[in-house]
Amino acid sequence: MTQAPQILLQHHLKKLRLPTFQGEYAKQAQICAAENKDHIQYLARLCEMELIDRERRMIERRIKAAKFPSTKSLDSFDFKIIPSLNKPLTMDLARCDYIDRRENIIALGPSGTGKTHIALGLGLAACQRGLKVRFTTAAALVHDLIEAQDERRLQRLQKHLTSQNLLIIDELGFVPLSKSGAELLFEVISQCYERGSIIITSNLPFDEWTEVFGSERLTGALLDRLTHHVHILEMNGESYRLKHSRKSRQ
């Protein structure tokens, strides 16, 4: 290939946003020639490589946008340590069909039993299927909502949160909420109701959620929405982190 056509081809591929095609066409031409592949097989191979790489980049973007504190998969969770957790249900949820049905997940259990790990694993599975995910703690979300309200950009933040296929709210119950914070969190959950799915992790049973929200009326309305279409993951037992630490030292 002469220099001018090669430069022109690279220009066109860049304009068409085909970076894998651009980086591989010369190499794959040599490989396909050696394998006696025709031009259709050559182009099909390049297209397949571009699609695979494009999907990989899309997943990476979704994971970055989700703002996970760390990337954890369900494959790395030791279900034997928390026997109360329904493994078949959890692995079925990783298929993300519940998101198509706009259903919610609530993981309940004492501190350290792996609720955040499960939430991160389900969030990662959703990203790998090309879905929009946002991870936050309850305290951080309320802080962001109050700050946005003060700066008159609350509607923009609410729109961003409700545009997600999956909103993960971790550690509900660790910190009591102010009246305004509880009302703002309730509003977000109400807006997400039947538009997308929500995962909530909490160290408190439902009958103690009033202590967090400070109002029986608000708590009742919140639970009514969350539990309308819900999967409950019971994660009771000794600290997963403690058991896992002991196991890794043996």
pLDDT tens-place string over residues 94-120 = 999 999 999 999 999 998 899 999 999
**Which phi and psi angles does 134 have, rounded to 5°?**
-135, 125
What's the pLDDT tens digit per position in 150-189?
999 999 999 999 999 999 999 999 888 999 999 999 999 9
> Same domain for 224 and 125?
yes
> Same domain for 157 and 35?
no
User: 9: Cβ–Cβ under 8 A, 6 or more apart, which residues?
Assistant: 1, 25
Contact 103, 230 (CB under 8 A): yes
What's the pLDDT tens digit per position in 181-221?
999 999 999 999 889 999 999 999 999 999 999 999 999 99
- How many domains does the structure of the chain reveal? 2
> Same domain for 45 and 78?
no
HSE of 47 in the Cβ direction (CA atoms, 13 Å)? 6
Report how far residue 222's alpha carbon sits from residue 153's, in angstroms, rounded to the nearest whole number: 24
Q: Closest Cα to residue 244, out of 108, 122, 80?
A: 80
**Segments forming the whole domain that contains residue 32:** 3-61
Its pTM stands at 0.85
> Same domain for 46 and 9?
yes
> Same domain for 74 and 179?
yes
Q: How confident is the model at residue 236 (pLDDT cuts 50, 70, 90)?
A: confident
Kind and range of the H or E run holding 198: strand 197-202
> Same domain for 73 and 177?
yes
What is the per-residue pLDDT for 243? 57
Looking up residue 175, the CATH number of its domain turns out to be 3.40.50.300
- Residue at which a domain ends, from 35, 61, 87: 61
> Same domain for 25 and 149?
no
> Same domain for 115 and 213?
yes
What is the per-residue pLDDT for 1? 46
> Same domain for 78 and 14?
no
For residues 126 and 5, the model is more confident at 126
> Same domain for 74 and 134?
yes
> Same domain for 57 and 158?
no
> Same domain for 109 and 32?
no
